[in-house]
Amino acid sequence: MAYTLEGSTGTWEIVCGLEVHAQVISHSKLFSGASAEYGGEPNAHVSFVDAAFPGMLPVINRECVAQAVRTGLGLDAKINLWSRFDRKNYFYADLPQGYQISQFAHPIVGEGVVEVTLADGSTKEIGVTRLHLEQDAGKSLHDQDPTKSFIDLNRSGVALMEIVSEPDIRSPEEAGAYLTKLRQILRYLGTCDGNMDEGSMRADVNVSVRKAGEEFRTRCEIKNVNSIRFVMLAVEAEAKRQIMVWEDGGEVKQETRLFDPTRNETRSMRSKEDAHDYRYFPDPDLLPLILDQDWVNGLKALLPELPDAKTARFVADYGLNAYDARILVIEQATADFYETLAKGRDAKLAANWMMGDFFAALNRTGRSIENSPVSAANLGALIDLIADNTINGRIAKEVFEAMVETGEAPGAIVEAKGLRQVTDTGAIDTAVDAVLAANADKVAQFKGGAEKLFGFFVGQVMKAMAGKGNPALVNEALKRKLS
C-alpha cells in the first residue's frame, strides 16, 4: 500500500532524495596529516594545510580513498578508476581556504543501490546516484562572546563521503529505512561510525510532492538534519507544507530550508536567487585520482560480509526466520555474538535467549553488546547447563540475572548458590507426597474433574523444592500419584 497524503484537492505522493554526508573513519584528514579524531580541544587538530597557510598544499590520504572505494563496493556501485578533485569556492570564516576541495564533475563512485526492508516485510531498492569525497569545514561558534565569533578548525579538512540517492524515496518510512540501512552498511564496512549525534553522519533532504502520474514538481532542500527520526519528521512536515502551498494556489519555490524539530516545521534558509555561484574548477594542486583495478579488487576481496548476505546465511544455516535474522544482523557485533553463541548449540534456542533475556538485560542496564556483562561464552555455557539438565529453565533465568549482575560464569553461580536441578526421584516423591497431603481438598477437586489444578500442584512442588526440581520428573511423579 503506497504512502500518500490527502489534501483538499486530492491525493499527493511524496518524492524524496537524500544527500548523506558521512565522515570517513581515518586516522588523519583527507589532505593533511592532522588527526581526524572527534573532539579534542578547539583547534588542537589543525595543520598548516587545514588552516590554509600560504604555500601549503593538499596531499591525498590513501586510506580515505580506500574507505570511499570500500563504501562504493558495499553499495554495489561502479568504482570510477579516474576521478578528479574540484574546488568549490565560497567565503566563510570556518572555510580557511576560501574553497572546499570536492569532487563535482568526476566522483570516485558512480551508480549503486541500497535495498531496504519496510515494516510490512516488503523490500524496495533505492538507487544511489554517486558518492564523492570532499573536505569538511570547521565550526563557527557564535555563542562564546557577545560581539565575536570563535572558529574551531578541528573538523576542517576531515574527509567526508557525500552519498547522493536517486529521488526514489516515497515516504518518511522509506527515508528512515534507507538511512538506517545505509548507516548499517557503513558501520559493517568500518568506513563511517554513523554517529549522527556527533555529526559524523548528517543528511540533506530533498522533498517535493506531486499528484499520481505527474512529472516531478519543484523541490526544496532541507539542510543538515542530524537524526533519522528528524529526517522522517522533516519529510512529512515539508511535504505537508508544500501541499498547502500548492492547494492555496501558490507555487513552491526552489530553496534551501532548515528543519526545526521543536516545532516540527521547516523554515526558509535561502532562496535560489541567493544561492552561491561556487565557481567549480579542477583543483590545480591535485592530479586526477587514478586507481588501479587490482588495488580495487584487493579491497573487494577483504570486504566483510554485509548485512543482506549475512541475513540470508542466518536463515539458511541456522534455520531462523527472516525477521529474527535481520534483528540479529543489525550490528556486526550482535551478529558475531550470535554466531559464537549458536556454534554447536541449538541455533533457535540461542536466538531466543539473545532476543529475549539478553537484549532485555542490555536495555535495562544501558550497556552495548561490546561491553555486555554476559559474554557469548558464558551465555552459551548457560544454555549448555539447561541442555544437560544441570538446571531447569526457571533456574536458568535466575542464574542469568546473577550473570548480568556479577559477570560470573553460570557454572560458578549454580554451584555457589546450590541451584543444581534435583533429579533424585525419591526426593521428588517425598515433596509430591507432602504437597498432596497438605492439599487434600484440591486433590479431591482434581479427581472430580478440575484438571486445571495440575498446574497448581506443579507450582507447589517446585516451590517446596526451591525451584530446583526437574520439571519432567515432577510432572511424572504427580501424574503417577494423582491417577
Partner 1 sequence: MFEYTLATARDALRARKISARELTTAYSGAITALNPEINAYITETPELALAHADAADAALAKGEHGALTGIPLAIKDLFCTKGVRTTAGSKILSPFIPPYESTVTANLLRDGAVFLGKANLDEFAMGSSNMTSAYGAVTNPWTRHGDNRPLVPGGSSGGSAAAVAARMALGATATDTGGSIRQPAAFCGIVGIKPTYGRCSRWGVVAFASSLDQAGPVARTVEDCAILLGSMAGFDPKDSTSADMPVPDFAAACKRGVKGLRIGVPREYRMEGMAPEIEALWQQGLAWLREAGATIVDVSLPHTKYGLATYYIVAPAEASSNLARYDGVRYGARSAGHDLTELYENTRADGFGAEVKRRIMIGTYVLSAGYYDAYYLKAQKVRALILKDFTDVFRNVDALLTPATPTAAFGQGEKMDDPVTMYLNDVFTVPVNMAGLPGLALPTGLDASGLPLGLQVIGRPFDEETVFAVSAALERAAGFSAVPTLRAGA
Give residues in contact with partner 1 (CB under 8 A): 48, 51-60, 87, 89, 91-93, 96-99, 149, 151, 277, 279-281, 284-287
> Coil, strand or helix: which one is 2?
coil
Residue 412 Cβ vs partner 1, minimum distance, rounded to whole Å: 57
What gap in Å lies between CA 478 and CA 483, rounded to an integer?
A: 8
Q: Which is nearer to partner 1, 55 or 213 (CB)?
A: 55
The answer to whether 162 touches 19, Cβ cutoff 8 Å, is yes
Return the residue matching grid coordinates 533429579.
423
Q: Which is nearer to partner 1, 150 or 359 (CB)?
A: 150
Q: Which is nearer to partner 1, 151 or 422 (CB)?
A: 151
Residue 281 Cβ vs partner 1, minimum distance, rounded to whole Å: 6
Query: Residue 164 is placed in which grid cell?
Result: 547522493
DSSP per residue over 296-307, as a string? HHHHHHTPPPPH
Q: Which is nearer to partner 1, 46 or 126 (CB)?
A: 46
What gap in Å lies between CA 254 and CA 273, rounded to an integer?
A: 9
The answer to whether 207 touches 235, Cβ cutoff 8 Å, is yes
Q: Which is nearer to partner 1, 279 or 480 (CB)?
A: 279
Residue 145 Cβ vs partner 1, minimum distance, rounded to whole Å: 14
Long-range Cβ contacts of 240-243 (<8 Å, 24+ apart): 240/5, 241/265, 241/266, 242/207, 242/208, 242/209, 242/217, 243/5, 243/7, 243/12, 243/209
Q: Which is nearer to partner 1, 68 or 205 (CB)?
A: 68
What gap in Å lies between CA 112 and CA 76, rounded to an integer?
A: 5
Q: Which is nearer to partner 1, 281 or 323 (CB)?
A: 281
Residue 259 Cβ vs partner 1, minimum distance, rounded to whole Å: 25
Residue 191 Cβ vs partner 1, minimum distance, rounded to whole Å: 23
The answer to whether 111 touches 150, Cβ cutoff 8 Å, is no
Q: For residue 404, how far is the Cα from the chain centroid?
A: 24
Residue 334 Cβ vs partner 1, minimum distance, rounded to whole Å: 42
Residue 279 Cβ vs partner 1, minimum distance, rounded to whole Å: 4
Residue 277 Cβ vs partner 1, minimum distance, rounded to whole Å: 5
Helices and strands counted in the chain (H then E)? 16, 16
DSSP per residue over 305-321, as a string? PPHHHHHHHHHHHH---
Q: For residue 466, how far is the Cα from the chain centroid?
A: 43
The answer to whether 271 touches 41, Cβ cutoff 8 Å, is no
Number of other CB atoms surrounding residue 225 within 10 Å: 25
Q: Which is nearer to partner 1, 53 or 82 (CB)?
A: 53
Q: Which is nearer to partner 1, 138 or 469 (CB)?
A: 138
Residue 32 Cβ vs partner 1, minimum distance, rounded to whole Å: 10
> Coil, strand or helix: which one is 480?
helix
